[in-house]
Structure 1
Amino acid sequence: MRKLALAVLTALAVAGCSTGSGQVDVNNGGEFRFVQGTPSGGVIAEDERQSAPEFSGTLLDGGDWSSDELAGDIAVLNVWASWCAPCRVESPEFERVHQDLRDDGVQFLGLNVKDQQQLAQAFVADKGLTFPSLYDPASEVALAFRDFPTRAIPSTIVLDRQQRVAAVFTAAVSEDDLRSTLDQLLAEG
């Protein structure tokens, strides 16, 4: 019995934030699925960056928000959910970086997907997050980034000051990796 329990726990740990077949179906006709990711990242060369799509939505607290609010700043967009274990680890690290760099022209925005609003709000309160998060239960905002590999939860997209995609991480991001990426973008001027 112990071996069976250990095998089940191991299988769940390997699955990360995925379920069943390794995919969580988003209710949009099956066009977009969140799957367990693998780390990637690194700053994309300036001449190879693509413009980020424009998007808008409703914040977890109910206010309206538009990507126009990011104009001129570096932006860290983090796709997360309250049920995602790696999200619990990286969110306090994101908050520390946010606190350190918010006066340097770096904005953070969470994209809460496939979640219940009450659970997402409790997550934000529990982790002490002060940066805003869009409530995106149907993943409509996340779908705007379908041209970029952000199909894992968590995923993080970093935009440069011209609102071009400068880095993409398809797994939890360490604080050191995030700071390194942002330092490179801040140095671009």
Structure 2
Amino acid sequence: MAGDGSVTEYAPAQQTPPVVLTGKLYDGTVISSATWAGRVVVLNFWYAACAPCRLEAPRLESLWEQFQPDGVRFYGVNIRDEEQAATAFERTFGITYPSMQDKDGGILLAMAQYVPPQAVPSTLVLDKRGRVASRILGLANQGTLKSLIVSAQAQ
């Protein structure tokens, strides 16, 4: 199942309590899931040498540009790279949304029930209450991810 492109949507009755996590952006800013209240959030787990991550990067950036005016937040969660490799990837692919550094695996561990460590890339969509509304294991299809974001906005 890991990284096979499977899509899971969680009905409100199936959703677990809100995600609680803290991360450090590459610019040093510490962010917390507590600041996301009332917003749909997209979390994308990636690393620079990941071939499918390179394929989906422009798709994610396009969706970020489309949904940013609606208050949807996008965060990358880089599970392997030092800042230099991560920022080079972001420059190469024109990524403008921020990424958290997670080399120590704290965020990945916190999300382990949704993101198997070997399933990178993976993308989670959190609803306005901070609960995981859906996930994509593996390469995200742009149209599918757009539909999942719209669905989370409607919850």
Task: Tell whether the structures are fold-level matches, with TM greater than 0.5.
Answer: yes
- Report the equivalent of 2:134: 167
- Report the equivalent of 1:6: none
Relative CO higher for 1 or 2, CA cutoff 8 Å, sep ≥ 6? Answer: 2
Equivalent position SS for 2:135: strand
Deviation at 1:36, TM superposition (A): 4.9
Structure 1 residues 184 and 36 mapped into 2: Cα distance closer, same or farther (>3 Å)?
A: closer
Matched, 1:97 2:63: yes
TM normalised by structure 2 equals 0.92
> For 2:112, which of 119, 143, 146 is the aligned residue?
146
Equivalent position SS for 1:176: helix
The answer as to whether partners of 1:113 and 1:139 remain within 8 angstroms in 2 is: yes
Aligned length: 154
Structure 1 residues 51 and 176 mapped into 2: Cα distance closer, same or farther (>3 Å)?
A: same
Deviation at 1:144, TM superposition (A): 0.5
Larger radius of gyration: 1
Query: For residues 158 and 137 of structure 1, what CA distance do their matches in structure 2 show?
Result: 22
Matched, 1:87 2:53: yes
- Corresponding letter in the other structure for 2:75: L
> For 2:150, which of 163, 175, 183 is the aligned residue?
183
Deviation at 1:170, TM superposition (A): 1.1
Consecutive unaligned residues in structure 1, runs of 5 or more = 1-34
The root-mean-square deviation of aligned C-alpha atoms, in Å, is: 1.5
> For 1:120, which of 62, 86, 96 is the aligned residue?
86
TM normalised by structure 1 equals 0.76
Query: For residues 42 and 180 of structure 1, what CA distance do their matches in structure 2 show?
Result: 12
Query: For residues 159 and 100 of structure 1, what CA distance do their matches in structure 2 show?
Result: 17
Give CA deviations for 1:121-166 in whole Å, capped at 9, x if unaligned. Answer: 1111111111110011121111111122443110111100011111
